[in-house]
Amino acid sequence: MATEKPVSPTEEQLEILEYNFCKVNKHPDPTTLCLIAAETGLSEEQTLKWFKQRLAEWRKSEGLPSERGSVRD
């Protein structure tokens, strides 16, 4: 079983991901996630993983727990 090396998004892909995170939705629904993945050229899994990591980063910077709790974003 071959293990895949994680692929880092390009600068252009990161710009698209950041724009969607900041301006569109921190919690994209499956349809939106699919559209963002298509726009970036990343898989839906890679896109979802990026959003989860970015959300945890954002929550930490806001002084919130890294996982969803009783406080809504």
Q: Given this model, what pLDDT does residue 23 score? A: 92
What is the model's pLDDT at position 73? 45
Rounded to an integer, what distance in angstroms lies between the CA atom of residue 9 and that of residue 40?
A: 9
For residues 22 and 26, give the distance between their C-alpha atoms in angstroms, rounded to a whole number. Answer: 7
pLDDT at 45: 95
| Residue range 11-67, pLDDT digits in tens | 999 999 999 999 988 999 999 999 999 999 999 999 999 999 999 999 998 888 766
Of the two residues 36 and 1, the one the predictor is more confident about is 36
Q: Which amino acid, residue 10?
A: T
Domains of the chain as residue ranges with CATH: 27-58 (1.10.10.60)
Q: Which distant-in-sequence residues (6+ apart) come within 8 Å of 18 by Cβ?
A: 54
Specify the residue for token string 């724009």: 19
DSSP-derived 3-state class of residue 47: helix
Residue with tokens 């950041």: 18
